[in-house]
Structure 1
């Protein structure tokens, strides 16, 4: 899977690696810049038993003191009340995305490495429960976004599934109709890796081979980018707007304004070795700033006014998750089951 299921998802999960999207070779073997990273970063979670290929994939942070992190081997971590509360791990079950509207209403998704069967876990404020039973057609899942009780999931073969267990309990996980002819031919549609939205009439999903899917009031349509060597791993909707940022390989960052306009490239790094395998894995921000993280310890900052620029990173390893809690507290997570925290204002000032 790219971020989870990308480029060679099948290969990754078949090998029980479960790592995020097409990551650059060598990321797994690099060492951190220092044990806790540069002084601007604080290492707030470190798993001493983590293997080099273990990873935390996504973060949900409703506040600076309330943090959820999910990852490989169905890891679910919570930081609250000044301490970490790890939930029991299930080996071979990998969680790639977490979404919620509060800490009392969360959904995490992923896949079982041994057979690529889907995983959906729902949290009601007291415990995590499985979203099963699943229809036979539901594949491994890569990401989730929703509003209220309704959720949308991205998965393999360019598929998007819709689910509302409260209002439509007899029509669970039904396949969304996505029109458009991209790609053409008999090959399966590329995996969709990420999804985000502002409303049910403005949702964007992104995936491999330059494929996007957008939903407005008229429904879903599949869109194609001009360069099939580009694959998308992440989507982030800028709060208070209908604009999306999309992360790709070549450490690319673009924005999506509307379905009738092409993506506008705002950052790309073609100079690094094997740039086509180095991804922007996750994006976060608020109405005035965006932070993107990815392979090779990439941390990018964009204030929507000047060109995006790299920020100090806590590691040389791949970073898979990022969340901005409030306007200043930034959390990142990645390989070897580590989580770091920093002041975004301090990071941004350090590079000026």
Structure 2
């Protein structure tokens, strides 16, 4: 766990530094209005992410459980069925976005004059990007279940560098910035899918896909993910309704401030997620082996450590938020500092819970 956490911590340092610098370039290049538009458009797609989150939890749990129990045949079968399930989910979300999502974009949201066409182009690439990320999920889950955090760390750094390249291309592009930005992010997602697929196919025997259909296993996975879907739906609903609320009542400048606050919080949460990815396989495999003493000890200790890790970063950030935002962005949308403080407080409370719900997922109930 310590070794994996170190890999992920080093990865986090690079990703945060590159990510924050990239955000500054993107904000200054797109402008506050287009940056706010992309945040709103992406929010429509993310609204359907509760479906992905629920199935992702099921995929990861079943793979890690099979590894912990040593059932190699079941492991390969589970992987192939998870690929089938994620392709079906990607198709379902694509249909929902192109019907309900497209109607909501063009009829309920407000955009500056002359930007509706660019918003629609950004929406289409956001949908494709999201579908690609869904298809990538089984491969990502296999890497984490095998605890190959070194590969995961290197790939995350590669992704950060690619997004920095996106910012540079966006800066020099003579075409519509919002449309170009959306297309480039989709291209990065597609490249990463190919990269994950090649690595898993080469290093993990169970990741060689074979055509199969197991209705019983699919029912178990869907049944397992059903209750998780309710929780994910609530989380996504709360977050995205805030985005739409600010767009409808306050406009895209408020969305830009909220989007920046969300980016800051996402970078902080990376610290917790890195730690979570190091201990999650241990919790699930300990339960699969029946080692309840280790199972409970790791839950209690990681819950407290998650909070203290986030607190260590949050306190200096909160005390210097206006200075940091000015240094980082140059031009700071109104209200950004307050948004950052509020989402950081929320995340501090939420930091305790991750090991607890991972333990619930381990039981399969």
Shorter chain as denominator, the TM-score bin is under 0.3
More helix by share: 2
More strand by share: 1
Q: TM-score, normalised by structure 1?
A: 0.26
Compare CA radii of gyration and give the structure with the larger one: 2
